[in-house]
């Protein structure tokens, strides 16, 4: 394999702007900085070659720098064609990271970048959406033999890897970073909640108050988005396929209905399901003139834009990340960020404070695999729950928050099965 290409980014002259942005993130990621201070002397990742495929944002740069400081060799690509922050990619390239990422790449270029991260025959893979690990399995299975493990950052990737493991097809162990409490219950909820609204506002600058705001999927991400839209004064409407999730949404105060019922009354639509074809031609056809539609799930297939194109007479870009489709019925529908994750394509992704915990989980999961991966079964593993408490504790400390501790008597009471009324 060729190891000639060291990096490929849009414009190296953006490096200084990228450095400033990364510095800003570092000032808001105290857990990551504590890990960096702790492990830069010990360098436990010596010998580890980490191929990463995850959105190239300022927070990701903090993770990359921390892995490198802890002794790892790293090669990186973005995990979505529209989510790379070009200045951050330039800053990483300028400081010697092998990074292959630029904003607006096409699908062939996307996989070319992934291939380049495999050129150095990695020992660990880090994924957000499983494209890298799938490339290893489908295109370069010979690399799996020396791989000690992989991590997966997001819900959609974890689902697919679990399916592979169930079929006995997984060639090395994977840790589901997504499923850690300090990831899933914070990043997906508060991170996606705030940053998706940020993306919608940057792409449209519409008033959210008073709008019918339709959220498809009331899982971790959808719950966060609905909560923040309600906070801005929207009338939130949730569509679901899971009865308990639908019930939870109703009791949280959202209206619940089918997408067919929501389509003609919604002003703003966002999908957060991890499922394809959630909004399709027949829904677009029913929408009000001026409706805004976007997705914050991992893949763009949640919106069926091919069917939208079929019922449209044309489209044009009206603002950055905002395309106006004119339907044959005369209505206009505005699609944000080409149906890609609106929070990353139209805004900056999750705030640094929340990625601090997600990436602390990534760092510790990779360290566990580097040390113990050889002996682990080729399954999707979870992180130990004690790690969540440790990460949350550091986070609380850095926020200046103290909490109570159970007394010895209370600890004994918790397991005392002789006590009654």
Query: Which stretches of the chain bind ligand NAD, using CB under 6 A?
Result: 154-156, 188, 192, 216-222, 239-242, 245, 272-275, 278, 296-298, 341, 343-344
DSSP assignment letter at 341: B
Question: Cα–Cα distance between 324 and 292 in angstroms, integer?
Answer: 9
Question: Cα–Cα distance between 355 and 179 in angstroms, integer?
Answer: 14
* Burial state string for 305-322 with b = 16 or more CB within 10 A and e = fewer than 16: bebbeebbeebeeeeebb
Burial class (CB in 10 A: 0-12, 13-18, 19+), 378: middle
Question: Cα–Cα distance between 153 and 156 in angstroms, integer?
Answer: 9
Burial class (CB in 10 A: 0-12, 13-18, 19+), 404: exposed
Tell me whether residue 69 or residue 257 sits nearer to ligand NAD (CB atom): 257
The three-class DSSP label of residue 319 is strand
Closest alpha carbon to 266 in 223, 228, 308, 210: 210
Position of minimal CB gap to ligand NAD: 219
Query: Cβ of residue 33: shortest distance to ligand NAD, in angstroms?
Result: 23
Q: Measured on CA atoms in the order 338, 344, 347, 350, is the torsion positive or negative?
A: positive
Question: Cα–Cα distance between 174 and 134 in angstroms, integer?
Answer: 12
What are the E-state strand segments in 190-289? 212-216, 235-239, 255-256, 268-271
Tell me whether residue 226 or residue 394 sits nearer to ligand NAD (CB atom): 226
User: Residues 26, 103: contact at Cβ < 8 Å?
Assistant: no
**Helices 58-69, 15-26: crossing angle, 10 deg rounding:** 80
User: Residues 352, 360: contact at Cβ < 8 Å?
Assistant: no
- Measured between alpha carbons, how far is residue 197 from residues 170, 238, 318, 346 in Å? 36, 16, 19, 10
**Helices 58-69, 30-42: crossing angle, 10 deg rounding:** 20
Question: Which neighbouring-strand residues pair with 269?
Answer: 214, 293
Question: Which neighbouring-strand residues pair with 314?
Answer: 326
Query: Cβ of residue 178: shortest distance to ligand NAD, in angstroms?
Result: 7
User: Residues 83, 110: contact at Cβ < 8 Å?
Assistant: no
Question: Cα–Cα distance between 6 and 418 in angstroms, integer?
Answer: 66
């Amino acid at each position: 394999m060729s190891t000639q290409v060291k990096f490929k980014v849009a414009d190296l002259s953006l490096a200084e702007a990228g450095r400033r942005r990364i510095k800003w993130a570092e000032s808001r990621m105290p857990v990551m900085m504590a890990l960096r201070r702790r492990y830069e002397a010990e360098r436990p990742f010596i010998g580890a070659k980490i191929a990463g495929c995850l959105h190239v944002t300022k927070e990701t740069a903090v993770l990359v720098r921390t892995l490198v400081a802890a002794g790892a060799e790293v090669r990186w690509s973005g995990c979505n064609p529209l989510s790379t922050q070009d200045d951050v990619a330039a800053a990483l390239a300028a400081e010697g990271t092998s990074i292959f990422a630029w904003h607006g790449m096409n699908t062939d270029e996307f996989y070319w970048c992934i291939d380049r991260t495999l050129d150095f025959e990695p020992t660990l893979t880090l994924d957000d959406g499983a494209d890298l690990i799938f490339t290893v399995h489908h295109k370069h299975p010979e690399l799996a033999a020396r791989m000690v493990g992989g991590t997966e950052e997001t819900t959609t990737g974890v689902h697919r890897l679990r399916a592979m493991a169930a079929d006995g097809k997984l060639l090395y162990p994977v840790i589901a970073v997504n499923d850690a409490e300090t990831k899933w219950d914070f990043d997906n909820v508060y991170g996606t909640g705030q940053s998706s609204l940020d993306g919608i506002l940057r792409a449209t600058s519409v008033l959210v108050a008073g709008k019918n705001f339709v959220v498809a999927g009331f899982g971790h991400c959808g719950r966060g988005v609905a909560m923040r839209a309600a906070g801005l004064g929207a009338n939130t409407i949730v569509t679901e396929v899971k009865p308990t999730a639908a019930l939870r949404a109703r009791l949280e105060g959202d209206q619940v209905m089918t997408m067919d019922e929501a389509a003609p009354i919604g002003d703003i639509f966002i999908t957060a399901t991890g499922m394809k074809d959630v909004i399709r031609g027949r829904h677009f056809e029913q929408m009000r003139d001026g409706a805004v539609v976007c997705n914050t799930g991992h893949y763009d297939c949640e919106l069926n834009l091919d069917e939208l194109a079929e019922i449209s007479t044309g489209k044009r870009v009206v603002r950055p990340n905002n395309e106006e489709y004119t339907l044959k019925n005369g209505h206009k529908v505005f699609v944000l960020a080409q149906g890609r994750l609106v929070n990353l394509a139209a805004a900056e992704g999750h705030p640094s404070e929340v990625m601090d915990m997600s990436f602390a989980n990534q760092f510790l999961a990779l360290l566990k695999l580097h040390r113990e991966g050889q002996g682990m079964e080729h399954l999707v593993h979870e992180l130990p729950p004690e790690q969540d408490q440790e990460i949350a504790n550091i986070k609380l400390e850095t926020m200046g928050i103290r909490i109570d501790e159970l007394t010895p008597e209370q600890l004994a009471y918790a397991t005392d099965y002789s006590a009654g009324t």
